[in-house]
Every structure is written in structure tokens, then in C-alpha cells.
Amino acid sequence: MTNLEMLEGIDADLLQTYDTRVPRYTSYPTAPQWDAAFTESDYRDHLGALPPNSRLSLYVHLPFCLERCTFCGCNVVISKRRSISDDYLDSIEQEADLLRAAIPAGVEIAQLHWGGGTPNYLPPNEMRRLHAVITDRFPIAEHAEIALELDPRHLTDAQIATLAELGFNRASLGVQDTSERVQQAVNRIQPSECVQRSIDGLRAAGFNGINVDLIYGLPHQTLESWGRTLDEMVDFKPDRVAMYGFAFLPEKLRQQVKLDSDTLPDTRARFELFLAGLRWFTEHGYSHIGMDHFATPTDELSTALREHSLRRNFMGYTTLAGTEGVCLGTSAIAQLSRCFAQSDKHLASYRRSVAAGRLPIDRGMTLSRDDEIRSAVIHELMCFSALDTSRIEARFDGLDFTAYFADECAQLKPLERDGLLHHDGPVIRTSKLGQILLRNIASVFDAYLGKKSPGGASTVYSRTV
Ligand code: SF4
């Protein structure tokens, strides 16, 4: 029996047992554990301690969108007042000066990413200005990945030409689902022709990596309509696909209150939608990466998986292990080897901070040795669907994995009985079911899960199935 046939026959009770709410582990410790006790001064200490020849990944958050998609959980500012982005670039420029002064000379950018929001909210002249703000202060390494997120509904030929001229070589397009009924329900009407036109324009302009985001579990999605969305990938030919489960969190995301929960697929239906995607991409030659990403065999993500250099951060799965992540913009997250730091989520106070000469850090965390060990374990599992315990022991002086994680090893036993993983000498290997449920396995090693966040607020996570 193939992996897929086994998954198709999965017991309903077993599926229900593992349909829990745990973090997505784009970081460990996860964001609810970061707090305001971590200050700008702590962040400056970490930045100042970067080795002079560090390779950096720089994330720039551009929060503006013209309208709100109901499914979206990003920190966005909805505005039709176009001058808002020009004013924002004044703040980005001030923050870039502060960041430049805080890090040692000699660092270079190996990966630049504009995310949002909608980076193509910026007209071409503002794109040029933002790129100059960065490159005037931070040298870009040769062969750097220069990427951004794009909304096909608003992408113009002039923007594509500008981005190509600036050296952008990878773009992520939000597609989600191509069915009109689903698009109406989530307030994102986006004809496939508009996606195709964007992809064709980007390829013709020299972009060599096209990523597409899909979402399963949306309102009114059926196996049939989802199958049609998947079949459109034959024409789109993405190099990478992120296939996320819809996170329905009306208690946290106000815009989702409008959604009729009766129109949402249930646990079994969500699982079948995921399997349909898994089957489609596998049959079309894509590698299955982590829980929910797919890449062509020649894409750098597939290479990074083979070469054990895959990385997971708050943008999902990515390449370039060994880079330190810094950021610019409201709500953006810096991810250095021993700390996380998040900037102020509120546009007005973010702007006031940088105008006053402060790096706009709102909260963060310095990792303890225990955090670092657990982070390495969770990262290994989430990226490689396996955990080589001897590799973890080699990385942390004096660590005896079995003794240190005696409780966690006992907690893995039921997961082993349920077929999610098995032991192969010092390596814990996941099955295909375990790969899909990586969050459940990783959560065993999360020392904070179930505890209150430092602010005392309760935390709501998305479902694992
Ligand atoms: S999905 Fe993209 S375009 Fe829609 S609200 Fe979120 S960031 Fe904006």
C-alpha cells in the first residue's frame, strides 16, 4: 500500500485526536512568549555582537493593502490614501540609519525580502526609493536572493519592469483558490487570467523563482473545486508552493466573524483537501518539504532539503541556513541566533519611535540554553521530518539527549503507536502521516505550551489538520 493509500484510509477517531491547536513553530520560543522586558537596549547588544562578516537576511514589512481579505492574519493597514506609503518610507529610512549604526561594519545582505501587506502597493518611484534606502546602507552579496510578495490584482507592467531593474529575482504570489465562489466568500476576487498575466510578465522580466501560496479549508471549498485550482498549476508552473491550512480564528481576527462557519470544511474534509494537494504535487514531480511546502526538484528549497541546509522562519520554509535575520518596518521580526525582537505593531507609535531615534522594539526574548536546545530539536523536526539526536548532542556540549528529554521521549510513545514516527538508532523518523502532523510531534518538545504568556493573555493557535 502506498503512503497516500494509507493516508486515505486513516481512521476518523485518530484524525480527530490529532486535530489540535498548537503553534506553527516558525520560531521557538513562539511569539506569545516574547515580552516587553526585552528592550531596545537588549536588541542593540545582540546586534552589536554580530560577527563583522555576518551574512544577513533583511526583511522589510510594507503593511499597506487596498482591501482586506477575510482569511488574512497578517498585520496590515487598509488604506486608499496612496501618500501613506511615501510617509512610511521616511520612517523606514530613519530606521535603516539606526540599524546600520547598530551593527558592525562588514556585514552583507544574502537575502532581501519585502513582505506585507502588499509590497506592490508602492508605485515604481517608491520601489526605487526603498531599494536605494537599503542598498545605500547595506551591501548586497553577490547571488543574493532578492524577493518580494506580490498581489497579482494590482501588479502593473511598470512595477514588474522596475523590480527587474532593481535586481529582484523571486516573487511570491497569493493565489489561495481560483474558484469564484470561494473568492467571493473571502473577499478576494482574482481571476486566473490576472495571475497568469503576472507570472508571464515576471518570467519574461527575468524572475527565476515564482512561489505560489494556496490555502485549503476555505469556505465553500469542495474536493471538486479544489481539484480545479490544483489543475491550474499546470499553467502557472510555480517553482514553489506553500499550501497552508486556513486558520479560522474569529476570536482573534475580527474580519473572520463575518464568515459562516457552516460553510467551512470539517476535519475529514480538510484532510482530504490536503491529501488532494499532496497527491497532485507529488504526481507532478514536486518534492514535499516540511509539512506543507512543495518545490520542483531543481528549486533551491529542494536542494536545501537534500543538503540539510533548509531553514524555517516566520516566512515559512526558506534556504540560507546560517544567516542572521534583521528587519525594518512596523511589526517586523528580527531573528538572530540568540534572540527574537519584534517591532511595534502600531503604525503611529512605530513612526514616533524611529523619529525619536529609537529602534522600535516592542517585545522580544533572549534565548536560554534550554530554549536553544529545544529550538534546535523543533527546527530539525519541522525542516527534515526527522530528528538525529546525535546531531543535537554534538551541537550542545555535555548533552545526553535521552536523559535530558526523558519525559518527552515517554510522551512520543503514543505517537509512535499511532504510526506518526519510529526510532531508527539515534534517529527519530516520521512517517508520511507524521510529516503532515509535524506540529503535533514538535509540540512535545515545547516547554511553554499550556503555560500562560508573560502578559497573561490566553493564546489561540490554528488547527493542525
Ligand atoms: S492576504 Fe495579502 S492582500 Fe489580502 S489583506 Fe492580507 S496582506 Fe493584504
The mean per-residue pLDDT over the stretch 2-10 comes to 83
Q: What is the 3-state secondary structure (H, E, C) of 15-63?
A: HHHHCCECCCCCCCCCHHHCECCCCHHHHHHHHHCCCCCCEEEEEEEEC
Assess whether 249 and 299 both reside in one domain: yes
pLDDT of residue 239: 98
Give the model's confidence band at 196: pLDDT under 50 very low, under 70 low, under 90 confident, else very high. Answer: very high
CA distance 103 to 97: 10
pLDDT of residue 12: 87
Number of domain units in the chain: 2
Assess whether 253 and 198 both reside in one domain: yes
Residue 108 neighbours by CB distance under 10 Å: 14
Domain stops at, among 299, 328, 357: 328
Whether residue 124 has pLDDT greater than 90: yes
CB of 72 within 6 A of ligand 1: the answer is yes
Of all residues in the chain, the percent with pLDDT exceeding 70 is: 99
Segments in 75-187 forming alpha helices (H): 83-102, 124-135, 157-166, 180-185
Residue 146 lies in a domain: yes
| Among 273, 264, 269, 265, residue whose Cα is nearest residue 292 | 273
Residues 6+ apart with CB under 8 A from 25: 312, 378, 382, 438, 439, 442, 443, 446
CA distance 199 to 176: 15
Assess whether 109 and 20 both reside in one domain: no
The mean per-residue pLDDT over the stretch 105-129 comes to 96
pLDDT one-digit tens code per residue, 367-426: 999 999 999 999 999 999 999 999 999 999 999 999 999 999 999 999 999 999 999 999
pLDDT one-digit tens code per residue, 59-88: 999 999 999 999 998 989 999 998 999 999
pLDDT of residue 3: 81
Grid coordinates given for 225: 473545486
Whether residue 366 has pLDDT greater than 70: yes
Helix (H, G, I), strand (E, B) or coil at 173: strand
Nearest CA to ligand 1 atom 2: 117
Residues 6+ apart with CB under 8 A from 80: 66
Grid coordinates given for 338: 540568540
State the virtual CA torsion across 79, 218, 250, 69 in degrees, nearest 10.
0
CA distance 361 to 342: 6
CA of 21 to the centre of ligand 1 (A): 24
Domain stops at, among 328, 359, 386: 328
Residue 359 lies in a domain: no
Residue 270 neighbours by CB distance under 10 Å: 21
Nearest CA to ligand 1 atom 7: 117
Show the domain range for 421.
1-27+367-447
8 A C-beta contact, residue 304 and residue 319: yes
8 A C-beta contact, residue 99 and residue 40: no
Grid coordinates given for 22: 498548537
CA of 248 to the centre of ligand 1 (A): 15
Residue 350 lies in a domain: no
**One-letter amino acid for residue 25 of the chain:** Y
Assess whether 197 and 108 both reside in one domain: yes
Assess whether 319 and 407 both reside in one domain: no
Assess whether 374 and 309 both reside in one domain: no
The continuous run of DSSP H or E covering 280 comes out as helix 267-283
Mean pLDDT of the chain: 94
CA distance 158 to 96: 26
Assess whether 320 and 374 both reside in one domain: no
Assess whether 22 and 76 both reside in one domain: no
Residue 235 lies in a domain: yes
Helix (H, G, I), strand (E, B) or coil at 287: strand
Give the model's confidence band at 225: pLDDT under 50 very low, under 70 low, under 90 confident, else very high. Answer: very high
CA distance 222 to 226: 6
Looking at per-residue pLDDT, the higher value among 230 and 106 belongs to: 230
pLDDT of residue 385: 97
Residues 6+ apart with CB under 8 A from 387: 377, 380, 381, 427, 428
Assess whether 13 and 39 both reside in one domain: no
The continuous run of DSSP H or E covering 245 comes out as strand 240-245
The region of weakest confidence among 9-13, 168-172, 204-208, 234-238 is: 9-13
Give the model's confidence band at 10: pLDDT under 50 very low, under 70 low, under 90 confident, else very high. Answer: confident
pLDDT of residue 456: 65
- 77 CA to centre of own chain: 19
pLDDT of residue 39: 96
CA distance 156 to 162: 10
Grid coordinates given for 447: 516547554
CA of 65 to the centre of ligand 1 (A): 6
Give the model's confidence band at 214: pLDDT under 50 very low, under 70 low, under 90 confident, else very high. Answer: very high
Residue 312 lies in a domain: yes
CATH of the domain at 177: 3.80.30.20
- Ligand 1 atom, smallest distance to 71 CA: 1
Assess whether 321 and 385 both reside in one domain: no
CB of 118 within 6 A of ligand 1: the answer is yes
8 A C-beta contact, residue 324 and residue 317: no
CATH of the domain at 390: 1.10.10.920
CA distance 142 to 245: 36
pLDDT one-digit tens code per residue, 281-317: 999 999 999 999 999 999 999 999 999 999 998 888 9
8 A C-beta contact, residue 397 and residue 424: no
CB of 151 within 6 A of ligand 1: the answer is yes
pLDDT one-digit tens code per residue, 315-339: 889 887 668 999 999 999 999 989 9
The mean per-residue pLDDT over the stretch 149-154 comes to 97
DSSP letter assigned to residue 405: T
Give the model's confidence band at 47: pLDDT under 50 very low, under 70 low, under 90 confident, else very high. Answer: very high
Residues 6+ apart with CB under 8 A from 174: 69, 149, 150, 151, 152, 188, 213
User: For residue 89, what are the CA distances in angstroms to 76, 119, 168?
Assistant: 16, 12, 19
385 torsion bin: left (phi>0), alpha (psi -120 to 50), beta (else): left
Half-sphere exposure of 94 (CA within 13 A, CB side): 17
CA distance 354 to 91: 6
**One-letter amino acid for residue 14 of the chain:** L
The mean per-residue pLDDT over the stretch 166-178 comes to 97
The pairing of beta strand 339-343 with beta strand 333-336: antiparallel
Grid coordinates given for 87: 510617509
Of all residues in the chain, the percent with pLDDT exceeding 90 is: 86
Domain stops at, among 328, 343, 358: 328
CA distance 441 to 449: 13
Assess whether 403 and 299 both reside in one domain: no
pLDDT one-digit tens code per residue, 424-460: 999 999 999 999 999 999 999 999 998 777 766 667 8
Assess whether 106 and 127 both reside in one domain: yes
CB of 176 within 6 A of ligand 1: the answer is no
CA of 205 to the centre of ligand 1 (A): 24
CA of 184 to the centre of ligand 1 (A): 14
Nearest CA to ligand 1 atom 6: 72
Backbone angles phi, psi at 105, to 5 degrees: -65, 155
Whether residue 270 has pLDDT greater than 70: yes
Grid coordinates given for 37: 522586558
